[in-house]
């Protein structure tokens, strides 16, 4: 009798995870029938950047393997290039599923693979909040100070600067007041979560 109760509880938990992923991403992962086209076309997976292929992530969600999915490297290294989505015969936006899974992992503090991703996003957001648009020089410096990332490509800096691809000063904005309102709304919404 207790086995039936435990099985019933597992099925409820399993369905709950699928439903939360559906609500978070607006995508029904139950439609995936494991053709593997997403994984075959994924540039990050094909460069051995992922620990679990995209189609296996979808299957793990279908099986209710919440903790295992949220602790994968895959959800953090997905670049949301939408190649998987374009190839999916079931019209599942797998990139949106990955975004939803990242948000869920962030909320549960499963961040062992997220450090560089969260540093990147926070630095980018701060850049937009400060300058109203992407100011590459400040972004590169900020990201390098947080992660040391740009030190590995310093040899590219002279050519990039000479070509004018990395301006020393930010460009002027006409609608800076609107950008500030958007940033304040985002901060307010994040505070409500």
d(CA 47, CA 84): 15
d(CA 192, CA 169): 35
- Measuring CA to CA, which residue among 31, 17, 14 is closest to residue 101? 17
- Dump the DSSP string for 40-77: HH-TTGGGT--SS-HHHHHHHHHTT-HHHHHT-SHHHH
When the candidates are 3.90.79.10, 3.30.200.20, 1.10.1060.10, 1.10.10.10, the CATH number that belongs to 2-107 is 1.10.1060.10
Q: What is the pTM of this model?
A: 0.63
pLDDT digits (tens, 9 = 90+) for 51-101: 999 999 999 999 999 999 999 999 988 888 889 999 999 999 999 999 999
d(CA 177, CA 57): 41
* Domain chopping of the chain, boundaries: 2-107, 115-192
């Amino acid at each position: 009798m207790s086995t039936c109760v435990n099985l019933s509880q597992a099925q409820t938990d399993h369905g709950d995870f699928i439903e939360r992923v559906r609500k978070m991403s607006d995508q029904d992962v139950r439609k995936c029938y494991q053709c593997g086209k997403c994984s075959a076309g994924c540039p990050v997976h094909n460069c051995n950047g992922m620990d679990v292929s995209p189609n296996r992530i979808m299957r793990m969600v279908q099986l209710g393997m919440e903790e295992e999915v949220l602790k994968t490297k895959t959800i953090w290294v997905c670049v949301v290039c939408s190649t998987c989505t374009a190839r999916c015969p079931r019209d599942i936006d797998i990139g949106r599923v990955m975004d939803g899974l990242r948000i869920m992992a962030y909320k549960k503090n499963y961040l062992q693979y997220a450090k560089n991703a969260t540093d990147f996003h926070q630095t980018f957001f701060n850049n937009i909040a400060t300058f109203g648009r992407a100011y590459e020089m400040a972004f590169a410096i900020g990201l390098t100070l947080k992660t040391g990332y740009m030190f590995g490509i310093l040899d590219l800096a002279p050519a990039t600067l000479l070509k004018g691809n990395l301006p020393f000063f930010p460009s002027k904005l006409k609608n800076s007041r609107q950008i500030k309102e958007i940033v304040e709304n985002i901060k307010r919404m994040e505070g409500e979560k």
